[in-house]
Amino acid sequence: MSEKRYFINPYEDFGPSDGVLDATGDELNGRVKEDLMKNLTKLLKSFEDEVNETINPDDCSVYTGSTGYALLYLHLALVFNDHKLLDKAIAYTEPLVDTSGKRRLTYITGDSG
């Protein structure tokens, strides 16, 4: 049995440039932010392709329908301050305006205001 009671670490020590946050600790560093935006764009593209094929115009649910899609884009528009995303949110809600008066406006079982 060896006298050493530890393993030799073959990896470099952690440095500030390896962190997720920038030097001030207030924001994500450029590399992480770039990777995050690239993956977000890729996921939104995949989401839009899937939704355009399977959207149900009668589904107004926040969980599975057009209202939920609009809520996603509203949130992203507010986070990224991007009016194009807000336009997408509006595009999902406009077709629902005409049909919302025909059903009960309740949170659980009806159109979600």
- Ordered by start, the domain boundaries in the chain are 10-54, 56-113
Residue 1: pLDDT band with limits 50, 70, 90: low
Residue 99: pLDDT band with limits 50, 70, 90: low
User: Which structure tokens are listed for 69?
Assistant: 């899609």
Rounded to an integer, the average pLDDT of 37-60 is: 88
Decide which of 101 and 88 is more confident: 88
Rounded to an integer, the average pLDDT of 79-107 is: 78
Instruction: Read off the pTM.
Output: 0.67
Summarised one tens digit per residue, pLDDT across range 74-91 is 999 999 899 999 999 998
Q: How far apart are CA 39 and CA 33, in angstroms?
A: 10
Cα dihedral angle (71, 73, 74, 79), rounded to 10 degrees?
A: 130
Contact of 61 with 72, CB cutoff 8 Å: no
User: Which structure tokens are listed for 17?
Assistant: 């440039």
Residue 40: pLDDT band with limits 50, 70, 90: very high
Q: How far apart are CA 66 and CA 69, in angstroms?
A: 5
